[in-house]
Amino acid sequence: MELLIARNELNEKPKKIKFEKIKELLKENSHQMFYFDRDNSHKDMMALVDALENEDVNVYFREVKYGLADAEYMYEVHTI
């Protein structure tokens, strides 16, 4: 599974991260916050949450709005 990390600038292209890399980061520190780009589908994000929960990781998932427009949001995944 490959997901897009949230952009730092609106004009910037989002960078990709693989699920294996996320698992490696969680082995170092299980308490992490990841921000994913709005170009990820909600279905892919739910697949990530399910995959992390299958790895016995507690996950808090939400959409974070940072502006007034409908397209101004990102996904937040907080692992506990």
pLDDT digits (tens, 9 = 90+) for 64-80: 998 888 888 999 999 98
Average pLDDT, the chain: 92
DSSP one-letter code for 16: E
Which of 22-25's residues contact partners 24+ apart within 8 Å by CB, and which partners? 22/48, 22/52, 23/55
Number of DSSP helices (H) and strands (E) in the chain, helices first:
2, 5
Residue 48: domain span: 2-6+15-79
Give the integer Cα–Cα distance in Å for 80 and 65: 22
The model's pLDDT over 19-58, given as tens digits with 9 standing for 90+, comes to: 999 999 999 988 999 999 999 999 999 999 999 999 999 9
- The pLDDT assigned to 42 comes to 93
Q: What token pair was written down for 49? A: 């949450």
- The pLDDT assigned to 40 comes to 94
The number of distinct structural domains making up the chain is: 1
